[in-house]
Amino acid sequence: MNQLNDQHLVTGVDHIAFPTFDPAGTVKFYRDVLGFPVVHSICAAGWGPGDHPDFIHFFFDIGNGDRIAFFYYFGLPRPDTSAGSGDVYARFPEGTPDWFVRSRHLALHVESEEHLLEYRRRLDASEWPVEMQIQHETIESIYTHDPNGYFFEITRALRPVTPQEDLDADLTIDALVHIAQTPGHTLDDLLVRRAELIVERAPEWTATQEAR
Amino acid sequence: MGHRLFMLDVPENVPIAGVARHLPDVRVGRLGPYFVIESDAPLSIDRRATGVRHAVWYSFVAGLDGWRIAQWDKDALRTEER
């Protein structure tokens, strides 16, 4: 019997990688403005298929031993970003709503309001000032775009997550998977299915919590 | 038994339960970690009366039993018979 087969084994982000066409701006933003140490870099001659350019792959520490990495390909032309929206990697046609373009982003965590505001101070003194500071349901975030156009967030928890939020998240996702099988599903369908699962699971959850 | 709106009991939602408790013919009970806001007549909750910020306001409904949402905007949440 495999002792690991029911365990959650991963321990965080090793690295998340993005292409850059502005290595100087990228280093300025992550290392000089935000103060993320450079922790690794690999320079490599083009390898594999004949059209692979020479490149450098470089990494910044984003805390907890996790890293954000960039690929810079020598001689690869920068995409035309004069029309539409998005970043250097993903472009969207004119008229694509901002909320959709911004929905893919990286959010880094800080432990306190003081730490969040310290990053706000660093960004506001740079070419990439904070564009928004928002209190969401249970987190507060600052946002900007990095030199590559990648939407970048730093966030703090306004309070610890409560056990009932884990229950609610679990049953909400079960409800989502259930309704997602029906074409044309809506938020209304989700709220109805969620209510059914609340009625089914919430009383037992309370009993389990009280037994702890 | 009336129709029910479920709302998770987390600190951000407590002011909404407080407003619902004072609405005429509305009962606020519990089911596990959820508030159950129950009524025979359609619910109408005034956003400003709750004082909650937008992110909380637009995410507080956990489930609907018998109700359908007729209005959910910066002014109010209003339900109607399904």
**Res A1 pLDDT > 70:** no
The model's pLDDT over A17-56, given as tens digits with 9 standing for 90+, comes to 999 999 999 999 999 999 999 999 999 888 777 788 999 9
The model's pLDDT over A156-182, given as tens digits with 9 standing for 90+, comes to 999 999 999 999 999 999 999 999 999
Per-chain mean pLDDT for chain A: 95
**Looking at the partner chain, which of B8, B12, B64 has a beta carbon nearest the beta carbon of A192?**
B64
Number of structural domains chain B divides into = 1
What band does A209 get if pLDDT is binned at 50, 70 and 90? confident
ipTM of the complex: 0.95
Alpha helices in B2-82 (DSSP H): 14-21, 47-50, 54-57
Q: Mind telling me how many Å the CA of A66 is from chain B's nearest CA?
A: 29
Instruction: Express as a percent the part of chain A with pLDDT over 90.
Output: 89
Between A and B, how many residue pairs show a Cβ–Cβ distance under 8 A?
A: 70
A150 burial level (CB within 10 Å; 0-12, 13-18, 19+): buried
What is the pLDDT at residue A47? 74
Contact across the interface for B55 and A135, Cβ inside 8 Å: yes
- A134 CB within 8 Å of a chain B CB: yes
The CATH number of whichever domain residue B10 belongs to comes to 3.90.56.10
Domain that residue B30 falls in: 3-81
How far apart, in whole angstroms, are the C-alpha atoms of residue B69 and residue B21?
19
SS3 state of residue A40: strand
Q: What is the DSSP letter of A62?
A: -
Say how many C-beta atoms besides its own lie within 10 A of residue B57's C-beta. 23
- A198 CB within 8 Å of a chain B CB: yes
Q: Are A190 and A176 within 8 A, CB to CB?
A: yes
pTM value?
0.90
The model's pLDDT over B30-67, given as tens digits with 9 standing for 90+, comes to 999 999 999 999 999 999 999 999 999 999 999 999 99
Question: What are the sequence ranges of the domains in chain A?
Answer: 15-88+96-157, 163-211
How far apart, in whole angstroms, are the C-alpha atoms of residue B69 and residue B82?
9
Dihedral sign, Cα of residue B49, residue B54, residue B58, residue B60: negative
Contact across the interface for A191 and B8, Cβ inside 8 Å: no
- A195 CB within 8 Å of a chain B CB: yes
- A96 CB within 8 Å of a chain B CB: no
- A133 CB within 8 Å of a chain B CB: no
CATH superfamily of A15-88+96-157: 2,3-Dihydroxybiphenyl 1,2-Dioxygenase, domain 1 (3.10.180.10)
